[in-house]
A and B are shown apart, each in its own frame.
Chain A
Amino acid sequence: MIKSLRSKLSGNNFLLFVTIVLFFVLYISGMVIFQDKGFGKPQVFLNLFISNAGLIIAAVGMTIVLITAGIDISIGSVIAMTCMLLAWMMEKKGMDAWISIVIVLIVGVVFGLVQGFLVSYLNIQPFIVTLAGLFFARGMTAIISDEMITITNKAFLGIANAKIYIPFISTVTKKGKVIHPYIYPSVILAIAVLIIAFVILKYTKFGRSIYAVGGNEQSALLMGLNVRRIKLKVYALNGFLAALAGFAFALNSCGGFVEQARGFEMDAIASAVIGGTLLTGGVGNVIGSLFGVMIKGTIESIITFQGTLSSWWTKIAIAALLCIFIILQSIFASLKRKSK
């Protein structure tokens, strides 16, 4: 029986399986424990997406970078810079919302290209390159404005506040108000990014070469892949996704300030690792990272619903999960070596 299960759930799929099961275990236990408080409402589930739309996009980008055995710790700062730049262009320069959005996305790509160039063509450790990126982007954020800028642009707030109601389901509040569950455009953006990234990774040549580069750079070279170019593209893509995450983030926070999204890159890395991505490269799945994000969100919700526990327990729970998943991964790695 073990054997048949093993063939079905070999290696990395098993890790993904564990992640998904863990999410459902957590969520269902939340529903059971906080039944009377309304944890089972569809809106609670949708809130996981609403509150974490930016993180989902960032985690997708991070997963792709991690698959190439790289890392990008600059994204939290890039998100802050994006929010600030968006707010500054629209509020201080009176620019059009859509033009501002396009500009920040271009800035993100350029930022990623520079980092990618340093990593792939000058062979500098990605950690150091993106550490410099982290400081640079955070510094630039403060240079643009060290005071908070509130976004009041009508078009932008229009997107931010556009509730998309889900028909046919509704809940009634204590005061007798009927409320349909809803999402915001940022959720659709996040899901679209997730699906596109999934398709690219699984079904395109570029996607498969990303795995090849991360799995073994030497053999990828021998296979005739242009490793440097692929890495450059990956970092540029991640820069783009970081800026897009920043846009989603700005939709949620409606303003730019220096301290925004501090430590966000670590949340993205944690989500990817819980989702089964190996830091050694070659293995990873954006669906897993989505569940990584949702597990974090569920733990946060459970702690808020509980009401008396300190919210810092979220961090401890994530730490415990990371530990478990890293141990699982290393067991799998040794298993692989044995079977070779």
Chain B
Amino acid sequence: MKNDKKQKNRHVYWNPYFGGFLFGILILFTFYLTGRGLGASGAMKSSVVSIVDSVSPTHAENNAYYSKFIEEDKSPMDTWLVFETLGVLIGAFISGGLSGRISWRVQHSPKITSKRRLVFALGGGVLFGLGAQIARGCTSGAALSGMAVLSTGGFVTMLAIFGSAYGFAYFFRKNWI
């Protein structure tokens, strides 16, 4: 009986308008407190800068991009976004845990194999990482937080991301439907 209940609760999610409302309040609160919005891709960038800096400090110094984020006595990981990202992991873990959604798995459409899913996940990640650096932000940082203050750059980025995704959707349809 108990196992039945657990199975039923697993993929019940919040109403998207409710989630969106709370999310909007959070963004508002973040701006009110810190003067800046949220972000996500920045933490991954900081990680890469840190790793390259530890493996080869001279290469990092000589590279025009890494060197922007390296300071004398501060770790590149000491940024607001890295702390926020740690929080995201914790928060998602709590929510997933409370709803019984935590387990090791590869989530994929039944029409494709796990391996194919992982290949596309890797490729998708590489593309997204590259694009997020060029655009100086991702959907949370550039698009959403940008739109919240009517930033032109935010709107342009948002339109580019979603327009492009819709455009490419046909080519990736086998992975999803």
Do these two chains really belong together in a complex? Answer: no
